[in-house]
Amino acid sequence: MVGRSAIWQFFTYDAVTRKSTCSACEKSLAGQNPTNLRTHLKSAHKELSAQLEKTETETKMKSKESMTKKKNETSSPSVSIKRYVMDRKPNDAWAVTSKEYQK
């Protein structure tokens, strides 16, 4: 597998010839750009293209759920304090107890 894209389950890349080969039809395509490979799947293998879209959608949903779960689990007091400080209105001044500033 060359990259992180799910497209690589349908292609293999040969670094010597610098070409990607479709696993379904054995067609060689120049380079390893996932967008070009996806275009080949859409035009020549519609059922594989639909399978790829389904896989990518599921992966994105799982990633989104994981990120939301992590965000909820890692809520720390320092984050709450930062939110308070950032959300403060200008007239919410800190109490000054020094005699020097009470004049």
Per-residue pLDDT tens over the stretch 46-76: 999 999 999 999 988 988 888 887 666 655 5
Opening angle at CA 39, ends 27 and 49, nearest 5:
90
Q: Which residues pair with 21 in a beta bridge?
A: 12, 28
Name the DSSP class of 93: P
Rounded mean pLDDT, 4-8? 90
CA distance 58 to 69: 17
* Residues 21/11, Cβ–Cβ less than 8 Å: yes
Name the DSSP class of 9: G
pLDDT, position 67: 81
Tell me the domain boundaries of the chain: 6-86
